[in-house]
C-alpha cells in the first residue's frame, strides 16, 4: 500500500527528486556543510519580517553566534530558546532563520537561536554542553531588558529536539529551572534504525536511514555502540519534565522515535500533546510557506507554549 502524500508535499518531493543528488557522506565535511546549508537557507524566502539582532554567546572555551528575534523591541516578552536541527553535522541560525521567524509570528514571543559546535569535529557531549551554556546565557539577563527570562520555553527540531530534551534532563538533575513547556519537532531520540517508520520511509522521502546512521555516528563517535543516556535521551529517566509538545510527519523515518518518546513520557506521568501529521516529511518546518500542515504544526506548538508561559 502506498503512503499518503499531502497534495502540497507532492510537488516538493518531485522537485527534490528532479534535482541532482548529493551524497553528503562522501564529501569533505566543509563542502558537505556548505552545500547542505545553502539548500536549507533557500527555504527562508518569504519568512515574516521580524526585527533581529546578532548576539555573541561567550562560554568557557567557546564563543557561539546567537540571534535574538524580537517582534516588539522595548517590550518585555516571554522567551523561547530554539535549538536548530541538521543531524548535529549541519545547520545554524541562518539555515533556521525562516523557521524561527515563523515561530515568532505564531507565538508573539522573543526567540533566541544559537550555533552550537558541530560534529564530527565536536562530537557528544560538546553540542549538548553548548546548548546548556546557551540556555544559561539566555536566562542570565544578557539578552536585554525586553526579554522576560522568568517566562521561558524551549524548542528544537530534529537533532535540536534531541539536544533540547537532553538539556532539560540535565537541568532537572542539576536542580536548575526548567522551561514552562517545550516543543520538540521530529526528534531523533535513539540510534535505532530497525523501526517500522525507518522500514517504510528510510528511502525516497528526503531523510534516509543511511544518512541518519551517519549523523548518529558523527554525533556519538566512539560511543555509538553504547550511547550514554543523555546522548540517546529516549532511554533516560523522563520523570519531572515540563509539558511537552511533540510532532512528527507521517513520511518521516523518525516518526517512531516520537511515538516511543510519547509512550515513555506518558509512563513517566509527564503532560504532553503528540501530533502525528500525515503526508509530510522530516524537516517540513522549513517548508511552512508552501506546506499548510507544517504551518499548522508551528501554530499548534506556539499555542501549546504560550498557554503555559
Of 71, 78, 29, nearest to 49 by C-alpha is 71
In angstroms, the CA 273 to CA 213 distance is: 28
- Does residue 129 sit in helix, strand or coil? helix
Element (DSSP H or E) covering residue 54: strand 52-59
The gap between the terminal CA atoms of the chain, to the nearest Å, is: 43
Q: Taking the CA atoms of 168, 216, 210 and 35 in sequence, report the sign of the dihedral they define.
A: positive
Q: Coil, helix or strand for 243?
A: coil
Q: Are 169 and 230 in contact (CB under 8 A)?
A: yes
Q: How many percent of the chain have pLDDT more than 90?
A: 98
The 10s digit of each residue's pLDDT in 255-301 is 999 999 999 999 999 999 999 999 999 999 999 999 999 999 999 99
Contact 187, 158 (CB under 8 A): yes
- 62 sits in which H/E element: strand 62-69
Locus of grid cell 525586553: 146
Task: Please name which of 133, 197, 194 lies closest in space to residue 167, comparing C-alpha atoms.
Answer: 133
Which three three-digit cell numbers place residue 62?
Answer: 567557546
DSSP state of 64: E
Helical pair 126-138 and 159-173, crossing angle rounded to 10 deg: 70
User: Phi, psi (5° rounding) for residue 149?
Assistant: -70, -5
Distance CA 191, CA 87 (A): 12
Angle formed at CA 265 by CA 244 and CA 125, multiple of 5 degrees: 80
Question: What 3-state class would DSSP assign to 182?
Answer: strand
**Percent of the chain predicted with pLDDT > 70:** 100
Q: What is the pLDDT, as a whole number, of residue 21? A: 86
DSSP, res 192: -
List Cβ neighbours of 209 (8 Å cut-off, separation of 6 or more): 193, 198, 202, 203, 253
- pLDDT, one tens digit per residue, over 82-140 is 999 999 999 999 999 999 999 999 999 999 999 999 999 999 999 999 999 999 999 99
pLDDT of residue 1: 52
CATH class of 9-306: alpha beta
* pLDDT confidence tier of residue 61, bands split at 50, 70 and 90: confident
Cα distance between residue 163 and residue 75, in whole Å: 29
Domain boundaries, the chain: 9-306
Distance CA 199, CA 35 (A): 27
Please say whether the beta carbons of 50 and 71 come within 8 A: yes
144-181 confidence digits (pLDDT tens): 999 999 999 999 999 999 999 999 999 999 999 999 99
Amino acid at each position: 500500500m502506498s503512503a499518503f502524500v499531502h497534495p502540497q508535499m507532492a510537488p516538493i518531493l518531485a522537485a527534490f527528486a528532479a534535482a541532482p543528488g548529493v551524497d553528503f557522506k562522501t564529501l569533505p565535511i566543509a563542502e558537505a556543510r556548505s552545500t547542505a546549508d545553502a539548500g536549507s537557507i533557500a527555504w527562508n524566502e518569504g519568512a515574516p519580517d521580524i526585527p533581529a539582532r546578532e548576539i555573541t554567546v561567550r562560554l568557557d572555551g567557546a564563543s557561539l553566534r546567537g540571534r535574538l528575534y524580537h517582534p516588539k523591541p522595548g517590550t518585555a516578552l516571554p522567551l523561547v530558546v530554539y535549538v536548530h536541527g541538521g543531524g548535529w553535522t549541519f545547520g545554524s541560525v541562518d539555515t533556521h532563520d525562516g523557521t524561527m521567524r515563523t515561530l515568532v509570528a505564531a507565538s508573539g514571543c522573543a526567540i533566541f537561536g544559537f550555533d552550537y559546535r558541530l560534529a564530527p569535529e565536536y562530537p557528544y557531549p560538546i553540542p549538548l554542553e553548548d546548548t546548556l551554556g546557551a540556555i544559561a546565557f539566555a536566562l542570565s539577563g544578557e539578552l536585554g531588558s525586553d526579554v522576560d527570562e522568568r517566562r521561558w520555553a524551549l524548542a528544537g527540531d530534529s537533532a535540536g529536539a534531541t539536544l533540547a530534551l537532553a538539556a532539560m534532563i540535565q537541568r532537572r538533575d542539576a536542580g536548575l529551572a526548567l522551561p514552562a513547556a517545550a516543543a520538540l519537532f521530529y526528534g531523533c531520540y535513539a540510534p535505532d534504525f530497525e523501526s517500522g517508520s525507518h522500514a517504510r520511509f528510510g528511502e525516497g522521502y528526503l531523510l534516509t536511514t543511511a544518512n541518519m546512521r551517519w549523523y548518529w555516528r558523527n554525533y556519538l563517535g566512539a560511543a555509538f555502540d553504547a550511547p550514554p543516556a543523555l546522548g540517546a535521551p529516549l532511554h533516560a529517566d523522563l520523570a519531572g519534565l515540563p509539558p511537552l509538545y511533540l510532532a512528527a510527519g507521517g513520511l518521516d523515518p523518525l516518526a517512531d522515535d516520537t511515538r516511543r518518546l510519547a509512550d515513555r513520557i506518558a509512563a513517566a506521568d509527564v503532560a504532553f500533546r503528540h501530533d502525528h501529521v500525515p503526508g509530510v516529511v522530516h524537516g517540513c518546518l522549513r517548508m511552512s510557506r508552501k506546506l499548510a500542515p507544517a504551518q499548522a504544526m508551528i501554530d499548534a506548538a506556539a499555542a501549546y507554549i504560550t498557554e503555559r508561559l
